[in-house]
Every structure is written in structure tokens, then in C-alpha cells.
Structure 1
Amino acid sequence: TIEWLESYLKSYSGALLFVSHDRYFIDALSDKIFELDQGQFNIYVGDYSSYSKQKRERYLTQLEAYKRQQKEIKKLQWFIDFYMPKPRFSSRAHDREKKLARIEKNKIDKPTQTKNNIHINLTGKIRKGKEVLKIDDLSIGYSSPLITGINADIYGKDRIAVMGSNGSGKTTFVKTLLGQIPKLSGDIDFLIERNIGYLSQDSIQLNLDETIFDYLHSLFPDYSDQKIYDHLARYGFSYEDDKKNIQNLSGGEKMRLIIAEMTLHDYDFLILDEPTNHLDMMTKQELLDALNDYQGTLLVVSHDRYFLDALCDKVLYFFNKKAYFYHGNYTSFKQEVLDSLEAEIELEKKNSPKEKKEKVTYNTHQKKVYPKLSKQKIEEKLAKLESELSQIEQDLQKEEVYSSYQKMEDLTLRQKQIETEYESLMEMLEIYEN
């Protein structure tokens, strides 16, 4: 979906202003970066990679100019202090004083770098090469299979990206692994003790009625208050923040709290479902660095291609109800496998015979056949569908919906069902109108 959007926007002829934390998306589309940093608005020419380089160079240039000016100020001040009391040199000292005043008037502020106050440290260890999980001919789904024939051997220190389009079965796969929903067939064999950490994309593990402090304290009652405060501070929460109710937190704050809690455990296997949701660029980079340093096994569901390319060495991709297990990162998988699969599907669509809609015609001498529903019933149903469709369109604009792929998937599916039903009812209504 994100790649389709990229392709569409690349062909768009108008101006485009967008907000994103997706590195590949920004690199593909932007030729300028507008940055809001510490109350300042800065413009950089180029994509995100270019912006990062320019930002660093700008900081170093400003820092060098600041140091030169500070050196000049100290030199002038020394001259003034030393020679002003001496009548013979006082005129020169006054000249230096005027020069210093001019510099002070246009004084360069010391440049600052935005620092990330979040420091993530994940503990856990599995010997590299030790088999951790064996998946054999697994089928997942609910009343009918979403994916069949999933096969994978997962080892210590593997970093596995689980990918696929919305609704392809990624979250269902994770829930099946965790035993939250039953498998349809096949085998899931954990070959180690189930010391598994799980991060869900919708923050369901949080108790929304608790404060930040109370949430951690209830999980770790043996920890002193100060230890909990200190730990939360490492994840960007101040003493005042700790008193906030979890239900009032932003999506990014909730995700940071879950990560803060996760780092207090020793997990040998981490399963992360959309861990970068709501996180800003700096926090995402900190999480990426921490996961690269992590000594256990990782299974990560994400739509963030840059994040996965920089982290994962294997890909489990769900496409067209099949699973593909690939050794390598996502970009390699796309080039070597996915592009060909998508091309085959497109070719099949083009070559398949198109269904022709039978047009209903009426001979003036024939008796008109009416639908089973009365005209009034059809109009009532249309009104209800219009109301529901309007509500869905409003819901799709809400943060708690568009930030959750599962909620977006459910609503867009219902939206399509309504549109199909609406079209069918309109065809019935036309019969009465004609």
C-alpha cells in the first residue's frame, strides 16, 4: 500500500506537502525538507538523507563560527582590561571597546543539537545458531484460511521481518504463535522455554485507568519508587509525566511506556507488532540501535521498510494467501522475488476473461419484473447505508483509527461492503424509477 501511494504521488503533477516518519517514503518523494526544531523553522533542499548530512554540516559550521567569535571576544576583552588603565594605550582600548560592542550587537548564539533523552537497553540472550522455533506447514485464519503452508526454521539471533499488505494475516500469524487464537493446521514447535516478550500495535497490554508510575509499580512491586522514577526518566518521562493517566497519553508516549516496561525483563525472544507506530525519527533510531545490539531472537511486524532493512536479515512475506521465507533483507526480497510475483498477478488479471454485467432491458410489451423489496424499503436501506458510510468516513480521520492498521483494515473492508450493497440497491431503485 505504501509503495502504491509512493508511485501515485510520484506521478502527481501538483505541489505536495506531507508529514511522515517513513525514511524511504520521504527519500522517494521529497526535494525539500521543512524542519521544526527548538522553536525554529528551517528549510533544507533535498531528501531525508541529504537533510541529515546538511543538518550536521550546518551545525558544525555554526559551531565553528561561534567558537571563532568567542575567541575574538575574549581577545578584545583582554586587550581592553589590560590597556584601558594605561593612558598611553587608552585610545586603542576604546577602539577595541567599540569593536566589541559591534560584535556583541550581532553576537552568534551557541548552536545546539536536538538530543534524544531516551536510552533503550534490551537484555536477553540465545546462542547464535541454536534452533528456537520450527514452523511446519502452518495454516492460519479464522473460519477460513488467511495463509496456508507457512514453513520456517528460526534460530538464535535471527532478525525476521514479517511483511505483507494490510489484511494479509500478519497480526493473525503473531496471535497464532502466541496461542491467542488456534491454528487451523500444521505445527508450531518452540524449542526453548517460552521466555517471549510481546509488543502489540494497539497497546492492549496497558491498563488505561492507571497512572504511568502506578502501571510500572504494579508490575515491579519490589522496586523502590526512586528506581521506577529513574527508569521512566530514561524513556523521556518527567516526574510530572509519571502522574498522568495512561488513557490521556499520546500514541508515542504509550509506545515509549511499553518499551520502558519491556526493558525491565530478560526476554530471549521478542515479537514486536508495529513497534515504530507513533515514534519520532530520533526515538525510532534509538530503538533500531537497541534492537541491533539485542542478543536474542527478533520477529518484527512493520510497514517501515528503512527500519526493517537496517535490522532484519530474513523476511517472512505473506502474498496472495501464501508465505515466502527469504534469507536477506526486504529490498533484496522485493528485487529478487516480490516484483516477479506482483507482475505475474497483474498478467493473470489482464489475461483472465472479464465478467460482463448483463444489462436488464425491458420490452414495452413485456410485463415489468420488480425487485422483491418495495421502493420504500430500498430507500430506507439506502439512507441507513449512507449514514453508516458517513460515520466510517469520519472514523477514518480519527488518530486512534488511522494509527492502527487493524482498525483501518476493518473499517475499509466494511466501507467496500457498504459501497457494493449500495450499488446493488441503486440498481433495484432504477427499475422502479424507470
Structure 2
Amino acid sequence: MILSCQNISKSFGTDEILKNVSFHIEENEKAAVVGINGAGKSTLLKIIMKQENPDEGEVTLAKDKTIGYLAQYQDVSGHHTIYEEVLDSKRDIIEMEERLRDMETQMNTLSGEALEQLLDTYHKLSHEFEQVNGYAYRSEVTGILKGLGFTEEEFDKKMSELSGGQKTRVSLGKLLVTKPDILLLDEPTNHLDIESIRWLETFLMNYKGAVLIVSHDRYFLDRVVSKVVEIFQHKGYVYQGNYSDYAKKKAAIRAAMIKQYYNQQREIRHQEEVIAKLKSFNREKSIKRAESREKLLDKIERIEKPTEDNTDIRIVLEPNVVSGNDVLKVEGLAKAFPPLQLFSGINFEVKRGERVALIGNNGTGKTTILKIINELISPDAGTVTLGSNVHIGYYDQEHQQLHMEKTIFDEIADDYPNLNNTKVRNVLAAFLFTDDDVYKRIEDLSGGERGRVALAKLMLSDVNFLILDEPTNHLDITSKEILEEALKSYTGTVFFVSHDRYFINQTATRILELTGETVVNYIGNYDYYLEKHDQMVALYVKKPEDEAQTEASVKETAQKVDWQTQKAEQARIRKIENALKRAEEKIAELEEKIASIDAECAKPEVAVNSAKLGELTKQQSEYQEELEKQYEVWEELSMELDA
């Protein structure tokens, strides 16, 4: 056991947050903490990190174990570049390397016993340097930064120039580079695109230490964790398995608890009826029997009715006007922000009743496409045509049409006077506004809270074509599930951008991937996309000799990937494997040469020959430099093969 939390309780004033929460984490175990927003998940992590003190309970970290923590919000600044900031996390290895270089310089000036002592120290430090992967630490930093979505061109950006999301990614990179025995991650997938999230999944699954994650990303949790700690109504409940296992077990437990509750209620009513009947006889013997039954009834430990936040809330979306079958047609669309060309020659259509997800890496132009469709910006080329009777409802976190002076309740009630108070409260509860929260003024809300109000308004509107930009940001899992059910039963059309793969999987009937300045069409949900992506990408991405890929050919390709594609993919994999093998052979050869020089330097007759030592050291340094390059080649090929 590496971490133990025993009976953790915490209140802020009269608000009880955590009550007797207990769980433990084993070495190398990957676990999640889940619960609605405000349940106390982040507070629990802060208590573990001793940034908050519990009112009761104890946190125990195993002896000599290190712990690393990524908070949701980072305020990293300074004169360092991105690369320097992450590289600085390897300060102990950098200092070790500097000491080795200093020793190599000193070897040219020493002889005899002094040189022998220095060589002995040098060999010990070299071995230690090798044990901590010293020869590849720069490659490791580069690989982690690329994995988190930074391009090499961005490595030289100053920390002071970065957005909040970029700073969080840098902080995550620093943490992953340091490799503590247990990682505490609070919403680590925020600010990551899908490709970076997939990279992080692989990293954490192979991580040698333990990991404790707070996240609303269900797909991510399914892939990474094997234990779930749920914070529900202040208490902690531990479930073995990933998120899907937890959801099934919780549903089964809840069903059993409800059955148990109603069985007891039925028994209580029966006993009360018997007692009333006995008393109605008004005889001493029957009254005594009634009193005896009352005493037994009083001793029963009453089961509380199981409750679930938002469990009965459903949002029903039903447009008043039915659109034509052709909802949206995009032809030859192009947009650039020089010198960056986002996309060109894009063609696609959206039909009535479809739920189409637009996915792609950060910076590829997904939000730009939504803004062009909504006439917020103009394309450089191409046309966007809406079908007959199409009425757009657009959710854009940057352009929320809210009245700053109104309360949340009035913002909804004034726009929808036909809704009664209960209906308004139910809708707001689905988007995490309960009790007195509904009377907060819009101007006093955070950006995320305003986004939720805007989404709630949009869900109630009479539009028949919903265009949504990252609708699940700032929603907890329960609210996401409510939104998913609403969209699945929606008879209108939906076009949305999201990096929430579970949400995409639940709602999308088709996926458009924005990649290589064009769009690739997948007729299915996210699981289908994953299955076909590697096969499709070679056929899809625009090549100079094949500038125009039409929507018709896209559909045909998506539905029919033949054996030739599979054969080509297998050949590509074999090519990578052969290159990987050659790199491994070269590494082994260089390591053997370096070891041979080490052995030569250890000979007494060489130890006193400074000229010979200098020559050998120079040669070893050249081999070492070549070895580091080969490590980088090997690492890149390995990552390509894994992908």
C-alpha cells in the first residue's frame, strides 16, 4: 500500500463536504475519484497534498515514497521557454551530466593516483547516470512535450506568453518527467485534444508508479483505471474495475437498495394496519398485543430512501418546425490565417436527423468551421448552404447571448414564460444550478457557469439545427448523461465539436475528422472511427497529386476498405519494425564500443598516459553523441509502431 486515507471529514462553515471517507491505493494501481461538481473531489486531493487540513481523519503516505500533484488551474510564469521549463525538472540529471563533463576535462590534467581516483569516481557516476536514463533525458522531455500536443516550433515560446490551458499542459509535462511514485491528477485531460488524450492514456497505463485521477472523462477512465472511489452525498464508496464496471455495479446496488427500501415500507404499513386493527377491538389482550408490536416496530432500523442527484431529470427537445431533408451543404470551403492554412477544398453535407461530430487536433480549424457556418467569420473560398426551414441554435463559449443584470432563474423564465417554476428549476438542476444558486446574477458567474446557462437556454429553444462547440465542458458526468439522452431523443439535427470521446460515442451517428487540411468521413460512432482510422488515413489525407477528395469518394472509402489497404498498412508496419531493429543493433554496437573504451581506460598503463586518455575520452564522447541520436530514432520509431 502506497497511500491510505482513513475517515477523512471536511466542512467549510455549515457545509459538510466529506464525511468519513476511507480508501487506499496500492503500488502501481491506477484509480479514479468521481462525483458531481462540488462533491469534494478536488478538496480530497488537496487534503492528501496537505494543502488543506481535514477536520478529522488521517492521510498516510508510505515511507520514502514521492508524490506529484497537478491542480486544475496553474499559474506558471517566468523567463523560461516551454522546453526549458520542463527540462528544468531534470535538474538532478543535468547537474550529474555537468559533473561528468567536468571530470572528463580534469582527466587531461591529472596522472597517477589522482587520475585513478577520478576515474573510479567517474565510472561510478557514469553508472548512476545510466541507471537514471541520463543519456536519453532530453529525448524523453521532447517526447512528452510532443505527446501533450506541443510542436517543436512552440518549444521556444516563453512561459509568460502562454494561455491558461498551455500552462496546465506544461505543468503536466513537468510532472510526468519527474516520475513520482504516485501521481495525483485533477482533470488532466482538460485543454488536451483527442490525440494528446490518447497519448496520455498510453503513458499512464504503462506508468510504473501509482495514479489517482479526478476526471469527468469517462472514456479516459475506462482505459486507464482499475478502481473507482465515488464521493456521493459526502461519503466515499470504493468499486473495483473501470468506469463502466463502476456504473453497472452502482446501478445494481441502487436497484437492490430501492427494492430493500420498498419491501421495508410495505412491511411497516402492514404492521401499522395490524396494530390499528388490534386497537380497534378495544380489549385488554388485543391492546397489549398491539403495544408489543409497536415496540418491535420502533426498534426497526429504518432504511432511508435512496436518492440520486438529478436522476429523474430529463430534457425533452422537440423542434416546432421540421426542416427539409438537406440541412447543410458545404462546398470548396477554405480558410487561412497567414502564414497558417487551416483547411481548403472542404466538402460535406448534413442531413435531417443526423448527429455529426467534428473532431481533430487543436488548431486544425474546427471552431472556425462552426463560425463560418454561423456567419461570424467569412471563408476565403467556398460556400455554405442551409436547407429549407432550417433554424440554427448555436452554442459558442465565446459568444453567449446572456443578460448580465438578470439572475439565472430569470434568464430562463423570461425567455420561456410557458415553463412553470418546477420545470425551470429542473432544467437548471440538469446543468448544475440548484437551491439558491438559481438566484445568482449572470455577471457574478464564472465563464464556465455562464456557458452552462447558455447551454440550458439553447436546449429549450425551438431551433431544429443545433450547432454546439464543446458542449460538455464544465459539466459533471451526471449532467453529461442528461444531455446525451436529450440529444439521442432529439428529432432535429446536431452538428458539434467535442473532445469528449464517451459523449461522441453515445451521441454521434457520423464523424468528420479535420486532418491534413481536409475532412475525413466515418459513418459511425467513435468506436467505429477508432476501428477504421488507421486504415483510412493513408487514403484520405490530401496529396499534391490528388488535390480534390470528394464527399462521394469519402463515403465510398469509409464503407469499403479493401484488402489492398490492409496489405499496404502491413508493409508500412514491417518497414517500421525493420528500421527499429536496425536502430537497436546500432545502439548495441555503440554501447559495446563505449564499454570497450571504459575497459581500456581502466588499464593501469593507459591511466598514466594522459594523451591516450584524452584520445579515448574524445572518441567515447563521439560515440555517446551518436548513441543519443540513435536513442531518439528508436524512441520515435517505437511511438510510431505503438500508434
TM-score by length of 2: 0.48
Higher relative contact order (CA 8 A, sep 6+): 1
Instruction: Give the drift of 1:163.
Output: 0.1
Instruction: Give the drift of 1:198.
Output: 0.4
Aligned to 2:471: 275
Which one-letter code corresponds to 2:354 in the other structure? D
Q: Output the CA distance in 2 between the equivalents of 1:141 and 1:341.
A: 23
Aligned to 2:5: none
Aligned to 2:107: none
Deviates more, 1:233-242 or 1:55-64: 233-242
Instruction: Give the drift of 1:256.
Output: 3.5
Q: Output the CA distance in 1 between the equivalents of 2:392 and 2:492.
A: 10
Aligned to 2:197: 2
Which one-letter code corresponds to 1:40 in the other structure? K
8 Å CA contact retained: 1:274, 1:303: yes
Deviation string 1:270-314 (CA, Å, 9 cap, x unpaired) is: 110011111122221221122122222211100111211222222
1:13 maps onto 2:229 in alignment: no
Which one-letter code corresponds to 1:142 in the other structure? F
Aligned to 1:152: 348
Deviation string 1:75-103 (CA, Å, 9 cap, x unpaired) is: 55666666697666788777656644543
Instruction: Give the drift of 1:316.
Output: 1.1
1:165 maps onto 2:357 in alignment: no
Of 327, 332, 335, the residue aligned with 2:528 is 332
Cα pair distance change 1:313/1:71, threshold 3 Å:
closer
Of 200, 224, 232, the residue aligned with 1:37 is 232
Deviation string 1:351-401 (CA, Å, 9 cap, x unpaired) is: 8xxxxxxxxxxxxxxxxxxxxxxxxxxxxxxxxxxxxxxxxxxxxxxxxxx
Q: Output the CA distance in 1 between the equivalents of 2:215 and 2:266.
A: 41
Aligned to 2:254: 59
8 Å CA contact retained: 1:232, 1:260: no
Cα pair distance change 1:88/1:153, threshold 3 Å:
closer
Q: Output the CA distance in 2 between the equivalents of 1:123 and 1:88.
A: 64
Which one-letter code corresponds to 1:275 in the other structure? P
1:232 maps onto 2:424 in alignment: yes
Instruction: Give the drift of 1:169.
Output: 1.2
SS at match of 1:17: strand
Paired residues for 1:352-371 under 5 Å: none
Of 180, 187, 192, the residue aligned with 2:383 is 187
Aligned to 1:266: 462
Q: Output the CA distance in 1 between the equivalents of 2:383 and 2:391.
A: 19
Cα pair distance change 1:38/1:321, threshold 3 Å:
same
Which one-letter code corresponds to 2:439 in the other structure? K
RMSD: 3.6
Q: Output the CA distance in 2 between the equivalents of 1:24 and 1:346.
A: 31
8 Å CA contact retained: 2:465, 2:493: yes
TM-score by length of 1: 0.68
SS at match of 1:235: helix
SS at match of 2:327: strand
Instruction: Give the drift of 1:260.
Output: 2.9
Which one-letter code corresponds to 2:489 in the other structure? D
8 Å CA contact retained: 1:268, 1:297: yes
8 Å CA contact retained: 1:203, 1:254: no
Deviates more, 1:305-314 or 1:226-235: 226-235
Cα pair distance change 1:48/1:197, threshold 3 Å:
same
Deviation string 1:203-249 (CA, Å, 9 cap, x unpaired) is: 6333445432554577x4xx65x857555323225684443122333
Paired residues for 1:3-402 under 5 Å: 3-73=198-268, 99-103=296-300, 106-116=301-311, 118-124=313-319, 125-126=321-322, 130-143=325-338, 144-192=340-388, 195-202=391-398, 204-213=400-409, 215-216=411-412, 220=415, 227=419, 229=421, 232-236=424-428, 237=433, 240-250=436-446, 253-338=449-534, 341=537
Q: Output the CA distance in 1 between the equivalents of 2:237 and 2:395.
A: 35
8 Å CA contact retained: 1:157, 1:296: yes
Q: What residue ranges of structure 1 are gaps of 5+ in the alignment?
A: 352-434
Q: Output the CA distance in 1 between the equivalents of 2:496 and 2:461.
A: 18
8 Å CA contact retained: 1:231, 1:260: no
Q: Output the CA distance in 1 between the equivalents of 2:329 and 2:290.
A: 82
Cα pair distance change 1:288/1:18, threshold 3 Å:
same
Which one-letter code corresponds to 2:501 in the other structure? R
Cα pair distance change 1:326/1:89, threshold 3 Å:
closer
Deviation string 1:385-429 (CA, Å, 9 cap, x unpaired) is: xxxxxxxxxxxxxxxxxxxxxxxxxxxxxxxxxxxxxxxxxxxxx
Deviates more, 1:49-58 or 1:162-171: 49-58
Instruction: Give the drift of 1:127.
Output: 5.3
Instruction: Give the drift of 1:317.
Output: 0.4
SS at match of 2:457: helix
Deviation string 1:149-201 (CA, Å, 9 cap, x unpaired) is: 21112221121110011112111111122222221222322233552110013
Cα pair distance change 1:81/1:322, threshold 3 Å:
closer
Number of residue pairs matched by the alignment: 346
Instruction: Give the drift of 1:113.
Output: 3.4
Q: Output the CA distance in 1 between the equivalents of 2:423 and 2:491.
A: 21
Cα pair distance change 1:274/1:320, threshold 3 Å:
same
Which one-letter code corresponds to 1:111 in the other structure? P
Cα pair distance change 1:95/1:333, threshold 3 Å:
same
8 Å CA contact retained: 2:391, 2:464: yes
8 Å CA contact retained: 2:323, 2:388: no
Q: Output the CA distance in 2 between the equivalents of 1:297 and 1:70.
A: 45
SS at match of 1:21: coil
Cα pair distance change 1:293/1:94, threshold 3 Å:
closer
Q: Output the CA distance in 2 between the equivalents of 1:191 and 1:67.
A: 52
